[in-house]
Structure 1
Amino acid sequence: MSQRKIIHIDMDAFYASVEQRDRPEYRGRPIAVGYDGPRGVVATASYEARPYGVHSALSSVLAKRLCPELIFVPARFDVYKAVSRQIRAIFGEYTELVEPLSLDEAFLDVSHVRSATLVAREIKAHILAETGLTASAGISVNKMLAKIASDYRKPDGLFTIPPERIEEFVAGLPVERFFGIGEVTAEKMHRLGIRTGADLRLWNEAALVQQFGKAGHSYYGYARGIDEREVTPNRVRKSLGAETTFAEDTDDRERLRLELSAVREEVWNRVMRHEFRGKTVVLKLKFDNFRQITRSKTLFTPVDSAETLRRVSEELLAAADFHGRKIRLIGLTVGNSPEACPECVQLRFDFGNPET
């Protein structure tokens, strides 16, 4: 089985950052989103407040004591939800496999792309351009490692844990940083002499289960950088695709044709591996201003050969008008399977304008 490529995106101090974006007078100042009262609790603190020890779930009274200059801002959840929808729409441009964890974080499975790190960098830039907010991204081969990585260089961070570094990285990791190990569990581990991933790896699975119950199975895997959980968007897959983001934008059609060839080979391999039947071929081009167009063609019968996919994809690329802009990403998808859409048999072209 091919190795997964997982991205964890986590917005930086999300609620507080939205407030600082919308209220210039809050920028650069310590703020807390929450209720300033005897029974109030901090929902999110800005990065200016965190050096004082102010953090989410802290009582407002204690937060004010730690940081007398702290400004409390009432939560505006309707605004946060609207921004979250913007961000999720951006995720959807890169993969169907998105698993939101909350309004401000999600896992993305981008196993179909050549470089998950380039895609993560692209997503961060896209979020900033679209919302004015920064996000941190972690990239690795599973959810556990990706989530750890996203917290590694906050704020506005990007950190990749490649396969060849997993063993070394996990060995030096404090147990508090592992997924699902909270304060109480960490304290118990410390009492048992387990302080790092290397310590945890010395324990066999049966002993961990005896000490920590069913969670011991997960801890055994985590100590070895193993996490088999899939990104679960709870949606039926209707397409298979692949794409690649370029290190430098280009309008060279010959280079784009070569890049498309590599993407197409990956798509065809996935179509064959999953025995997927789709009638619609979609070419995606993303421009240097983050706008994108698609060109699609729906056949009367499912794509049945690599040659058919080559012919149709090259026709779509040749017909695409770049409107004088350079390309930063090219993608190809086979979708519209007969099972998902039995009535979709017509020929269709999508002529979007990248300037709109």
Structure 2
Amino acid sequence: MNNILHIDCDAFYASCEEVRYPKLKNHPMAVGGLSNKSIITTANYKAREYGIHSAMPVFIAKKLCPNLVIVGVDKKYYKEKSIEVFDIIEKYAKIKEQVSIDEAYLLVEDKENRINKAKRIQKEVMEKTGIGVSIGISYNKFLAKISSDWNKPLGIKEINSSDIPHILKDLDISKVHGLGRKSTKKLRNIGIHKIEDLLSLDEEFLKNLFGKQGSYVYHVIRGEDNRKVEISSKRKSIGREFTFKENTLDLRILHSYIDEIAKILESDMNDRDIKAYTLNLKIKTEYFKTHTRSHTQEVPIYKKEDIASISKDLLEKLISNEKFRLLGISLSNLSKNNHTQLSLFD
């Protein structure tokens, strides 16, 4: 049964920057070091049309595309966007294993059509975060991961047991999980370039070449992978933030954003059956200065009116002469919501 989904964000760092600076969507853009001696971390899909890819030196990328826009790496921002994305995805399965900042496995056990579920995930993530994801569906982790890379961006691909091994034969060996750069170089040196070539090698040969990893490779390319989807470590916080189209100090606008975030957070917390003792408000000014305020309750909260009320009180302490360009709310000190909670206003 195809009950494993692999979710992979499309050109994640670059997509985050396009959310922050929408005009970048119309230009070839890459995230990486700003000096010519640096390397590219991620390129958006317009830049990839010029042959630009991750790990490419910046000076080569600029030769391929003289009008390339390069944005410096902002890992804190990318982590915040990652939390946004995977907080949404988490609702779609009881077991989620996040394996990096931009990818995760889901173990789904309901009867919903897997393609339909993937489409719903894609739609909700895009609408709420602006980030595109590709989704692979299969009966094991190896094949689900290969599927998610099949037709990026915004791809959905399902691989069934009946598709193996012929569907994999034309894929490059670099697609095989467990084969790094050194391993693929070894194989290319002996004329092995595609999975079809790899299938011709016996298990003992691969074990002699790569040790225990060789045995793993032998089996996964034949559709055999017994690794389980494991539950990720407990989430320490849950939050949302918005970057405004225009910088503002208008309290009506700021309060409307707080109300919208509070509504989203209430829904997210109900889906996860959790409550929170601490609320954190974050703003970023037009001059990119970040300020935060927090408030811890004796009574935990999860209702939107409580989240909004506390956030608006904290906002008053952050008002200055500088306009705001971003506002975010996060909730921490989380616990299971195992009893009925009255609103602060009840």
Whether TM exceeds 0.5 here: the answer is yes
Opposite residue 121 of structure 1, the aligned amino acid is K
Opposite residue 122 of structure 2, the aligned amino acid is K
Contact 1:198–1:223 (CA<8 Å) still a contact in 2? Answer: no
Opposite residue 89 of structure 2, the aligned amino acid is F
Q: Are 2:209 and 1:223 equivalent residues in the alignment?
A: no
C-alpha RMSD of the superposition:
3.0
- Map 1:26-175 onto structure 2 (within 5 A): 26-175=24-173
CA gap of 1:152–1:52, structure 2 versus 1, over 3 A, is same
Worse-matched range after superposition: 110-119 or 22-31: 110-119
Structure 2: unaligned runs, 5 residues or longer: 235-266, 274-335
Q: Counterparts of 2:41 and 2:193 in 1: how far apart (Å)? A: 30
CA gap of 1:126–1:209, structure 2 versus 1, over 3 A, is same
Deviation at 1:15, TM superposition (A): 1.5
Contact 1:9–1:107 (CA<8 Å) still a contact in 2? Answer: yes
Instruction: Report the counterpart of residue 185 of structure 1 in structure 2.
Output: 183
Secondary structure of residue in 1 paired with 2:164: helix
Deviation at 1:201, TM superposition (A): 2.6
Deviation at 1:89, TM superposition (A): 0.8
Q: Counterparts of 2:191 and 2:63 in 1: how far apart (Å)? A: 35
Opposite residue 174 of structure 1, the aligned amino acid is D
Contact 2:96–2:232 (CA<8 Å) still a contact in 1? Answer: no
- Map 1:204-223 onto structure 2 (within 5 A): 204-223=202-221
Deviation at 1:113, TM superposition (A): 4.1
Contact 1:172–1:198 (CA<8 Å) still a contact in 2? Answer: yes
Contact 2:98–2:105 (CA<8 Å) still a contact in 1? Answer: yes
Q: Counterparts of 1:58 and 1:194 in 2: how far apart (Å)? A: 24
Contact 1:136–1:154 (CA<8 Å) still a contact in 2? Answer: yes
Q: Counterparts of 2:104 and 2:232 in 1: how far apart (Å)? A: 14
CA gap of 1:193–1:43, structure 2 versus 1, over 3 A, is closer
Q: Counterparts of 1:81 and 1:200 in 2: how far apart (Å)? A: 37
Contact 1:136–1:155 (CA<8 Å) still a contact in 2? Answer: yes
Post-superposition Cα deviations, 1:151-203, rounded to whole Å, max 9, x if no partner, equal 11111111111222122212333322211223432232234343333332333
When normalised by structure 1's length, the TM-score is 0.63
Contact 1:170–1:225 (CA<8 Å) still a contact in 2? Answer: no
Aligned length: 249
Post-superposition Cα deviations, 1:203-236, rounded to whole Å, max 9, x if no partner, equal 3222210122111111111221111111122459
CA gap of 1:174–1:39, structure 2 versus 1, over 3 A, is closer
Instruction: Please identify runs of 4+ aligned residues in structure 1 that moved more than 4 A.
Output: 291-294
Please identify which structure carries the higher strand content: 2
Contact 2:2–2:160 (CA<8 Å) still a contact in 1? Answer: no
Opposite residue 77 of structure 1, the aligned amino acid is K
- Map 1:288-299 onto structure 2 (within 5 A): none
Secondary structure of residue in 1 paired with 2:218: helix
Q: 2:23 aligns with which of 22, 25, 38?
A: 25
Deviation at 1:97, TM superposition (A): 1.7
